[in-house]
């Protein structure tokens, strides 16, 4: 769904434009209506769209777009929906920065990276599989924080100030690893939200 965001940002879809219905977009992008719905919900939370039950979904006006972008707290999103939030830490390691980390975080090869994988659930059903890397050079205090009982995103939002962020939303096909984590078939359509945040010391995290 990065194409949708590009149409909004470029002005192809101007403020006040009513975007196509979810069923039509699902056909155009070759994915399920649920995938489209999740993508549009994320864009609405980011301040790009305004959704109404009766008349549809519209591109927000420039005044609304100037609002600070919200970074979603997964735990809050699940609990606000009235569901229980089980969380499980799957991978947690500190390692030297690699070439792929530089592409995602512009991290120096001298910096250490904390790599984490987590599974967020709603009422016991998989809700979100999180892959995250954190630049310890930008967040030194994270090196000794335990994420056994709390997701890294929640801790970062509460603890680390950030001044800018980049994000994209897209649909993809589940790999075998992701499918296993989410309890779906390999090749099933998935919504992917990629986000990179920065502070005064540089890029903080990619997830």
Residues 45, 71: Cα–Cα separation, whole Å: 8
**What share of the chain in percent tops pLDDT 70?**
90
**pLDDT given for residue 46 in this prediction:** 72
169 in the same domain as 125: yes
Residues 31, 45: Cα–Cα separation, whole Å: 21
151 in the same domain as 113: yes
CATH number for the domain that contains residue 91: 3.40.1410.10
Beta strands in the chain (DSSP E): 49-52, 56-59, 87-96, 112-122, 125-135, 164-173, 189-199, 202-206
Burial of residue 71 (number of CB atoms within 10 Å: 0-12, 13-18, 19+): middle
**Contact assessment for residue 118 and residue 87, using Cβ atoms and an 8 Å cutoff:** yes
Residues 151, 161: Cα–Cα separation, whole Å: 17
User: Total domain count for the chain?
Assistant: 2
pLDDT in tens, 42-57: 888 777 788 887 788 9
CATH number for the domain that contains residue 40: 1.10.10.10
DSSP secondary structure string, 165-189?
A: EEEEEEEEEPPHHHHHHHTS-TT-E
Q: Determine the average pLDDT of the residues in 30-44.
A: 85
**pLDDT given for residue 76 in this prediction:** 85
91 in the same domain as 135: yes
The b-or-e profile of 157-185 (16+ CB within 10 A means b, else e) is beebebeebebebbbeebeeebbebbeee
Pair of tokens at residue 123: 């009422």
pLDDT over 60 (residue 67):
no
200 in the same domain as 103: yes
- Of 37, 70, 103, which residue constitutes the final position of a domain? 70
On whether the pTM is more than 0.75, the answer is: no
Find tokens 């997964």 and name the residue: 74
124 in the same domain as 106: yes
- Of 20, 50, 70, which residue constitutes the final position of a domain? 70
Torsion angle in degrees (nearest 10) through CA of 168, 43, 5, 38: 80
Range of the domain at 161: 72-207
């Amino acid at each position: 769904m990065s194409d949708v965001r590009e149409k909004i940002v470029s002005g192809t879809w101007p403020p006040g434009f009513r975007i196509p219905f979810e069923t039509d977009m699902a056909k155009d992008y070759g994915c399920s209506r649920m995938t489209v719905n999740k993508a549009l919900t994320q864009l609405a939370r980011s301040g790009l769209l305004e959704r109404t039950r009766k008349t549809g979904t519209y591109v927000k006006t420039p005044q609304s777009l100037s609002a600070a972008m919200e970074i979603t707290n997964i735990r809050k999103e699940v609990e606000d929906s009235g569901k229980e939030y089980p969380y499980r830490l799957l991978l947690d390691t500190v390692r030297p920065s690699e070439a792929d980390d530089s592409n995602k975080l512009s991290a120096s090869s001298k910096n250490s990276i904390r790599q984490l994988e987590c599974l967020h659930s709603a009422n016991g059903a998989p809700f979100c599989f999180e892959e995250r890397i954190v630049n310890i050079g930008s967040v030194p205090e994270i090196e000794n924080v335990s994420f056994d009982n709390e997701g890294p995103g929640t801790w970062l939002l509460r603890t680390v100030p950030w001044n800018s962020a980049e994000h994209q939303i897209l649909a993809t096909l589940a790999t075998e690893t992701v499918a296993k984590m989410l309890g779906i078939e390999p090749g099933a359509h998935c919504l992917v939200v990629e986000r990179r945040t920065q502070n005064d010391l540089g890029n903080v995290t990619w997830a």
